[in-house]
């Protein structure tokens, strides 16, 4: 059976400790690094005498001491180094995966996420809806997954302050991202109860790679919106758009520079359909629209519009 990378590292460490006279891991590795800089010939001779390649030592073995603990634990468990994508590692996400009995499959998924399905590269997405999804105005799971995939890097942070039953938060966590969700009326234990205007008390500014904003549709909002009491019916839609602009003001601050926001909307079907104001509301917050997708249920009864914008 071939030796694991961790076994090789243990041998390297023992040799390094004996060569440098340093007992601790960090101290021995630091001493080897110093010698590699200060006395190159001596370092190369030592590497050769131990039977390693110089690149292997300098690119891999000398870095192990500095890896986050979950990466070291992964190596300790014999996971192959070549399968670890250090750029994609988020220590917290990795630690959670390692806590599970099926940790290996979970870690595999973190480093080799399922490729985006073919349909997600098309401008119009089709999905299967259900009466329950319709009632909750919730996203179908594959749609939530595709939105996460196209807006958030592996290991990045997704924030969903109107998370409802938490489809986006779950899709993000299952695909190697960190995710946090809240809602005025959460429908899952994963989701924190909070009004979006309190978001800044829960999430630090400029931390999110992706902000998902999925407000109630105009129809459901107008049933309960108190701000409509004094407003003539002809101005109700304008009041709804003010509500959307307010949400972007409340939540936009959590985005990192260059982070993405997905504004998810379903304009009313009766009368005129206004899409431009959603783009305008994003623009007013300094968010640049970069893509637009439309998702239509296979029965044709439901549609969601996704405005994908980026902060500068």
User: Cβ(158)–Cβ(177) under 8 Å?
Assistant: yes
Please choose, out of 112-120, 123-131, 132-140, 299-307, the segment that lies near ligand SAM by the rule CB under 6 A: 132-140
Which is nearer to ligand SAM, 106 or 170 (by Cβ)?
170
Assess 267 for contact with ligand SAM (CB under 6 A).
no
| Count of residues interacting with ligand SAM (CB under 6 A) | 19
User: Cβ(311)–Cβ(258) under 8 Å?
Assistant: yes
Q: How far is the CB of 155 from ligand SAM (least distance, A)?
A: 22
Query: Under rule CB under 6 A, which residues in 29-68 are in contact with ligand SAM?
Result: none
Assess 167 for contact with ligand SAM (CB under 6 A).
yes
Measured between alpha carbons, how far is 204 from 253 in angstroms, rounded to an integer? 9
**Binding residue for ligand SAM (CB under 6 A) from 185, 189, 233, 234?**
185
User: Cβ(74)–Cβ(94) under 8 Å?
Assistant: yes
Residue showing the smallest CB distance to ligand SAM in the complex: 164
* Lookup: tokens for 181: 């969700």
Assess 149 for contact with ligand SAM (CB under 6 A).
no
Please choose, out of 39-47, 183-191, 226-234, 282-290, the segment that lies near ligand SAM by the rule CB under 6 A: 183-191
Assess 165 for contact with ligand SAM (CB under 6 A).
yes
Query: Under rule CB under 6 A, which residues in 75-114 are in contact with ligand SAM?
Result: none
Strands (DSSP E) contained in 101-172 are 124-127, 157-160
Contact letters (x/-) for ligand SAM, 191-230, by CB under 6 A?
----xx-----------------xxx--------------
Question: Tokens 């809806």 map to which residue?
Answer: 129
Number of Cβ within a 10 Å radius of residue 86:
11
**Binding residue for ligand SAM (CB under 6 A) from 47, 139, 282, 309?**
139
DSSP string for residues in 185-219: S-SSTTSEE--GGGHHHHS-TT-EEEEEE-PPPHH
Measured between alpha carbons, how far is 34 from 43 in angstroms, rounded to an integer? 9
Distances (CA, A) of 220 to 145, 160, 182, 198, 256: 25, 19, 19, 22, 31
> Residue 50 in 3-state DSSP?
helix
Measured between alpha carbons, how far is 180 from 210 in angstroms, rounded to an integer? 11
Which is nearer to ligand SAM, 71 or 148 (by Cβ)?
148
Please choose, out of 28-36, 56-64, 158-166, 275-283, the segment that lies near ligand SAM by the rule CB under 6 A: 158-166
- Write out the residues near ligand SAM by the rule CB under 6 A: 136-139, 161-165, 167-168, 183-185, 195-196, 214-216
């Amino acid at each position: 059976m071939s030796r694991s990378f961790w076994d090789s590292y243990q041998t390297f460490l023992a040799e390094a400790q004996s060569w440098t006279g340093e007992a601790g891991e960090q101290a021995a590795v630091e001493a080897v690094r110093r010698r590699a800089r200060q006395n190159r010939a001596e370092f190369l001779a030592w590497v050769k005498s131990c039977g390693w390649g110089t690149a292997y030592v300098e690119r891999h073995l000398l870095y192990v001491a500095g890896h986050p603990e979950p990466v070291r634990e992964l190596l300790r468990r014999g996971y192959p180094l070549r399968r670890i994508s250090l750029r994609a590692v988020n220590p917290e996400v990795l630690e959670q995966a390692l806590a599970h009995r099926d940790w290996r499959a979970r870690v595999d998924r973190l480093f080799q996420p399922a490729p985006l399905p073919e349909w997600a590269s098309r401008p119009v997405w089709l999905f299967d809806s259900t009466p329950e999804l319709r009632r909750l105005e919730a996203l179908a799971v594959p749609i939530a997954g595709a939105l996460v995939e196209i807006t958030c890097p592996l290991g990045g942070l997704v924030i969903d302050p109107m998370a409802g039953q938490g489809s986006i938060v779950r899709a993000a966590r299952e695909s190697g991202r960190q995710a946090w969700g809240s809602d005025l009326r959460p429908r899952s234990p994963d989701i924190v109860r909070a009004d979006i205007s309190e978001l800044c008390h829960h999430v630090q500014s400029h931390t999110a790679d992706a902000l998902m904003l999925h407000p109630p549709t105009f129809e459901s909002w107008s049933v309960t919106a108190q701000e409509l009491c004094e407003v003539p019916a002809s101005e109700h839609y304008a009041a709804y758009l003010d509500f959307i602009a307010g949400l972007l003001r409340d939540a936009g601050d959590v985005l990192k520079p260059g982070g993405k926001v997905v504004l998810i909307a379903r304009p009313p079907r009766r009368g005129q359909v206004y899409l431009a104001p959603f783009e305008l509301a994003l623009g007013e917050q300094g968010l640049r629209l970069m893509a637009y997708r439309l998702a239509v249920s296979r029965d044709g009864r439901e549609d969601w519009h996704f405005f994908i914008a980026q902060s500068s």
